[in-house]
A and B are shown apart, each in its own frame.
Chain A
Amino acid sequence: QVQLVQSAAEVKKPGASVKVSCKASGYIFTTYYMHWVRQAPGQGLEWMGIINPGGGSTTYTQKFQGRVTMTRDTSTSTVYMEVSSLRSDDTAVYYCAREALEGRYNFDHWGQGTLVTVSS
């Protein structure tokens, strides 16, 4: 069965960077695009960007361009999402979400989420 397992919660200071991982299993890793979505405490979902695990190409929403980097390691079927210059308003649960093959930007499987807390 499809599984997306994310790394453990992190606590970071303002100005630091954080790298969250998402290990995929149960399907052909390079066939499905992967997205990252975040959710601040008590707030809604926010789309951050997409990576093509096959070729490595990425697209980020304008808000995060220059501060977010998405990468992948095909040898371990893992995608990574790094956020730099962290601020307190980056405190959120970060999810990886697999895009289904049908249609566009339909997220059929999600990771369990990784809480990133930014605090001095």
Chain B
Amino acid sequence: QSALTQPASVSGSPGQSITVSCTGTSSDVGGYNYVSWYQQHPGKAPKLMIYDVSNRPSGVSNRFSGSKSGNTASLTISGLQAEDEADYYCSSYTSSSTGVFGTGTKVIVL
């Protein structure tokens, strides 16, 4: 199972919106609405930000939103803030009943 493909880095200025993409195949991202997104600050455990493509857990800011089209899922952060600077990973359920993560994206707040 190959890792899902994400851009290495995405940057934006405070207040702007950015989008992180996550590309898989019809056996994972495209085949199920089971894509989730995680935020990870240095030295910390990941934190669930979006699940089932577009749902936000309780306590996560509504500045974070998710979507999917075909084999590509996307995470959008609106009103970018300094605290959003972190690594972001997508994850998907697969047709083999396994999980797979994306390659990870470093979000940089300019």
Contacts and interface: CB of A to CB of B under 8 A. Distances in A.
Interface of A: 35, 37, 44-47, 49-50, 59, 61-62, 95, 97, 100, 102-108, 110-113
B76 to A, nearest CB: 19
B45 A103 contact: no
Interface residues of B, number: 29
Contact of A105 (B1, B57, B89, B93): B93
Contacts of B103: 44
Given A44-B3, A45-B46, A95-B45, A103 B101 contact: no
Nearest to B45: A110
A100 B94 CA distance: 17
Interface in B5-55: 32-34, 36, 38, 40, 45-48, 51-52, 55
A111 B45 contact: yes
Given A44-B3, A45-B46, A108-B57, A59 B97 contact: yes
16 contacts: A37-B101, A45-B38, A45-B40, A45-B46, A47-B99, A47-B100, A50-B98, A100-B48, A100-B57, A105-B34, A105-B99, A107-B38, A107-B46, A110-B45, A110-B47, A112-B45
Nearest to B92: A105
Interface of B: 1, 3, 32-34, 36, 38, 40, 45-48, 51-52, 55, 57, 89, 91-93, 96-104
B101 A46 contact: yes
Given A95-B45, A110-B45, A110-B46, A104 B101 contact: no
Contacts of B99: 35, 47, 50, 61, 105
Given A45-B91, A106-B51, A111-B45, 7 more contacts: A47-B98, A50-B98, A50-B99, A61-B99, A100-B57, A106-B52, A107-B46
A9 to B, nearest CB: 13
Given A44-B89, A44-B103, A106 B45 contact: no
Contacts of B97: 59
Contacts of B45: 95, 110-113
B36 A44 contact: no
